[in-house]
Structure 1
Amino acid sequence: MRISTLDGRRVGLWGWGREGRAAWRAIRNRLPELPLTLFCTPHEAADAASLGDPLLSPCTQVSAQALAACEVVVKSPGISPYGAEATAAHEQGTQFVGGTALWFAERPDARTLCVTGTKGKSTTTALLAHLLRAAGVRTALAGNIGVPLLELLDAQADAWAIELSSYQTRDVATSGVRPGIAVVTNVYPEHLDWHGGEARYVADKLALLTEARPRIAVLNAADARLAALALPDSDVRWFGREDGWHLRGDTVHRGDLAVLDTRDLPLPGHHNRGNLCAVLAALEAYGLDAAALATNARSFQPLPHRLQALGTRDGLTWVNDSISTTPHASIAALELYREVPVAILVGGHDRGLDWAAFAAHVGARPPQAVVTMGQNGPRIHAVLRASADVAGFYLRQAGDLDTAVAQARAALGPKGGVLLLSPGAPSFGPYRDYAERGRHFARLGGFDPDAIAAIPGLGVG
């Protein structure tokens, strides 16, 4: 859907975060006389009123009837189209569209490299942009990573490295524009509350491949769901298997050719080094000499809140992995610190994910301590109790992050170790987002939250 096709129609905006404001600016720049209804909170309505746009009318009571009064609703990614109000409005003819779909429709000639996956998509996208720029390619880094695509609607770039969440992947499919390259790192359950179940989550995530039909698909051969896909309309390039880009021990190989020792790379965790293989496969698909570019990974600046080593205080190494929103991500974080005493903080917003695999992991490779917290903290604690009894690790519950940190510090004792925030759950409730949670953790450790928060390389460069 082009923005121009909204002219003369009853149009709503749903959500007033950064994505919602980007959608308003893009539509207003193209259609200055189009009336818009803004569905938002009372606080957001006051902010919107300060813009002085007489054609922007806030509505703070979101209902199916109010939504159905619009022909088209431009929806922010965090708002599910599967909720009762949206479903009822859709049944009455309202069309819901995301900003990602609008951008793709407006920029059909953009050379796009779209990255998604349950884990690792942000680092993969940023590393891809970093190596493209090292090759002299003018590259935009945007999407779910921090800059909405519509903020860069008129920007010029030779390549677009775009991170897509599961909230946005179907948007690409509905835009009618095929991505140039699509990279998928892995797929396992997450965001089940937004999608309404595991099957729909997987279908929405894989829509980037099965419905958007990228010209080239770069896929992880080690992921069973990806390996089982049939994509007749795409040229599929596999990473993670021996005839392509893969890891052997700590060394990246292209087939049998050893390319790069990863031990000194600023990519914490084996999974991140595996995602370097995804990046190199994507660069090769783009037409570049990936092997020659690989050494530039040494100058990559890691992203905040992703296995981010903040520093050491009183013998404790503080590690901020607040971006971790699945038990699988918490397992990967523990693997990185398996040789040292570690106390891990887990729990947050309860999306109903299964913690059995995490319990099995800590039972087989026990950390020094696990402290549960947040809405699903009691449920995780109950799942872990048997593992703690058998494996002998310290297991405690906390009502909030401050108490969880105090209990973890006590568990590590005077000998010190790693204090690891890797919640395996979203931050909704006490925090606006994972970044706010990570900043709070940094403050508790005596670190400057502003100094640890910047994402390098966003936008066009």
Structure 2
Amino acid sequence: MRISQLEGQRVALWGWGREGRAAYRALRAGVSGFGTGDSARAKAAQPLTLFCTTEEALDAAALGDPALHIETEASAGRLSAFDIVIKSPGISPYRPEAMIAAHEGTRFIGGTALWFAERPDARTICVTGTKGKSTTTALLAHLLRAGGHRTALCGNIGLPLLELVNASAEFWAIELSSYQTRDVAGSGVRPHIAIVTNIFPEHLDWHGSEQRYVDDKLALLTEGQPRIAVLNAQDRRLAALSLPDSEVRWFGREDGWHLRGAALYRGGDFVFDTATVALPGRHNRGNLCAALTAIDALGVDAAALAPQAQGFVPLPHRLQTLGTRDGVTWVNDSISTTPHASLAALEVFRGRRVAILLGGHDRGLDWQDFAEAMQSAPPAAIVTMGQNGPRIHDLLAPVAASKGFRLQQADDLQQAVEHARHALAGEGVVLLSPGAPSYGPYRDYTWRGRHFAQLAGFDPDIIAAISGLGISP
């Protein structure tokens, strides 16, 4: 659905985060009746309703838009009064009020779907996956720009697509969360390339079940029908897919881009040693293989660009080394929201004394695999915290007793940091890799990572910056 098709319909926005504000600006700027051009000034702007929190309502009211009606309760009855509801990604369409309204005929779409409908000819490279999607997207943009290609870096990584609805670029590197993949599938526009890094359980509270999460994530492939699908050959779910409407290119196997230790190969050809690239862990270097496979699929010589990865600046909150204080190295992996991610983080620091901070919002994920892994390669200390901290602690207590690592509970992140600092006694790595979301004390993982940096003695503003968002060169 194009923005112009909203004219004359009953339209609401649900959510006033950055995505919601971007949708509002796009509507007001882009449509006769919605917009601010000559035709819009000739008649009153089309009425628009916003559903948001009480705090957000104050911000929206400050716009002084007389055609914007603001409400703070999105009930099923109120949502059902609209033809179209433009929903922010963090709001699940599986909430009872949304499902009732959808049954009554309300159509829920996201800003991502609107952008794709507006830009059907854009050469898009959509990147999703449970982990690695942000790094892969940023690597893709970095390498293409190094080759002189005007490239957009946007989407879930921190810049909503609708903020760039009128911009131009040769290539669009777009990160998509599992909350956005169906937006692309439902837009009617096929992505040029879709990359999927991996699939394992995540965001079960939003999706409602593991199977629905997998189905929603894979909708980018199965329903979006990209012209080219770039897939991880090491992921069992991806390896089992049948995509008759897409050309499939694999990474992570010997006939494509893959790693042999730290050595990067394209097929049988050695390209360069990735040991000097700022991508901690083998899983991160696998993201480089994904990006290079997509670049080849674009018709660009990826082998020529691959060494430019040595100039890549790692993203914040993703195994981000903040620095060393009094013999202790502080690593911020706040984006870690699954036990699998915490295990991958520990693997990066195997052989070093590590105190890992675990726990946060409890979505019911199974920590049994993590506990079993601690039987063979435990860290020096584990500190649990957050809503699921006691559950993780109880599961690990027998392992700690038999293996001899230190296990402590903390009331909050500040206390967890103090426990970890004390456990290491001036030697080792304090690793924030919680394996759980931050809901509750923090707005999101970025705010948790900022607080961790502050507690460790580092400037949260400096560590949190993402370079390269937008379009360049």
Structure 1-normalised TM-score? Answer: 0.99
Q: Deviations over 1:373-414 (max 9, x none)?
A: 001111111121222122211111111000001111111124
What letter is aligned with 1:308?
Q
Q: What residue in structure 1 maps to residue 393 of structure 2?
A: 381
- Corresponding residue to 1:215 among 208, 211, 227: 227
- SS at 2:461's partner residue? coil
Q: What residue in structure 2 maps to residue 151 of structure 1?
A: 163
Q: What residue in structure 2 maps to residue 437 of structure 1?
A: 448
Q: What residue in structure 2 maps to residue 362 of structure 1?
A: 374
In 2, the alpha carbon distance for the partners of 1:183 and 1:439 equals: 29
In 2, the alpha carbon distance for the partners of 1:62 and 1:115 equals: 31
What letter is aligned with 1:442?
A
Unaligned runs of 5+ in 1: none
- Corresponding residue to 2:327 among 286, 290, 315: 315
Q: Summarize the alignment of residues 163-178 of structure 1 with structure 2, pairs less than 5 Å apart.
A: 163-178=175-190
Deviation for aligned residue 1:62 = 1.4
Deviation for aligned residue 1:362 = 1.7
In 2, the alpha carbon distance for the partners of 1:256 and 1:87 equals: 51
Cα RMSD over matched residues? 0.7
Q: What residue in structure 2 maps to residue 52 of structure 1?
A: 64
In 1, the alpha carbon distance for the partners of 2:6 and 2:238 equals: 36
Deviation for aligned residue 1:260 = 1.3
In 2, the alpha carbon distance for the partners of 1:387 and 1:277 equals: 36
- SS at 2:275's partner residue? coil
Q: What residue in structure 2 maps to residue 5 of structure 1?
A: 5
Q: What residue in structure 1 maps to residue 25 of structure 2?
A: 25
Deviation for aligned residue 1:41 = 0.8
In 2, the alpha carbon distance for the partners of 1:117 and 1:394 equals: 33
- Corresponding residue to 2:467 among 448, 452, 456: 456
Deviation for aligned residue 1:169 = 0.5
Q: Summarize the alignment of residues 298-377 of structure 1 with structure 2, pairs less than 5 Å apart.
A: 298-377=310-389
Q: What residue in structure 1 maps to residue 216 of structure 2?
A: 204
Q: Deviations over 1:176-196 (max 9, x none)?
A: 000000000000000000000
In 2, the alpha carbon distance for the partners of 1:9 and 1:54 equals: 18
In 1, the alpha carbon distance for the partners of 2:120 and 2:462 equals: 38
Deviation for aligned residue 1:364 = 1.2
Q: Deviations over 1:323-359 (max 9, x none)?
A: 1111111111000001100000011111111111111
Deviation for aligned residue 1:42 = 1.1
1:16 aligns with 2:16: yes
Q: Deviations over 1:276-308 (max 9, x none)?
A: 110110000011111110000000010011000
In 1, the alpha carbon distance for the partners of 2:399 and 2:183 equals: 42
Deviation for aligned residue 1:39 = 0.3
1:113 aligns with 2:116: no
In 1, the alpha carbon distance for the partners of 2:113 and 2:398 equals: 47
In 2, the alpha carbon distance for the partners of 1:168 and 1:412 equals: 41
What letter is aligned with 2:448?
R
- SS at 2:279's partner residue? coil
Q: What residue in structure 2 maps to residue 183 of structure 1?
A: 195
In 2, the alpha carbon distance for the partners of 1:116 and 1:196 equals: 19
In 1, the alpha carbon distance for the partners of 2:391 and 2:114 equals: 40
In 2, the alpha carbon distance for the partners of 1:46 and 1:442 equals: 31
- SS at 1:353's partner residue? coil
What letter is aligned with 1:16?
W
What letter is aligned with 2:153?
L
Q: Percent identity?
A: 71
- SS at 1:263's partner residue? helix
- Corresponding residue to 2:282 among 267, 270, 282: 270
Q: What residue in structure 1 maps to residue 47 of structure 2?
A: 35
In 2, the alpha carbon distance for the partners of 1:391 and 1:66 equals: 56
Q: What residue in structure 2 maps to residue 425 of structure 1?
A: 436
- SS at 2:253's partner residue? coil
In 2, the alpha carbon distance for the partners of 1:237 and 1:383 equals: 41
What letter is aligned with 1:438?
G
Q: Summarize the alignment of residues 85-124 of structure 1 with structure 2, pairs less than 5 Å apart.
A: 85-124=97-136
Task: Flag as ranges the 4+ runs of structure 1 deviating above 3 A.
Answer: none
Deviation for aligned residue 1:36 = 0.7
1:393 aligns with 2:415: no
Structure 2-normalised TM-score? Answer: 0.97
Deviation for aligned residue 1:11 = 0.5
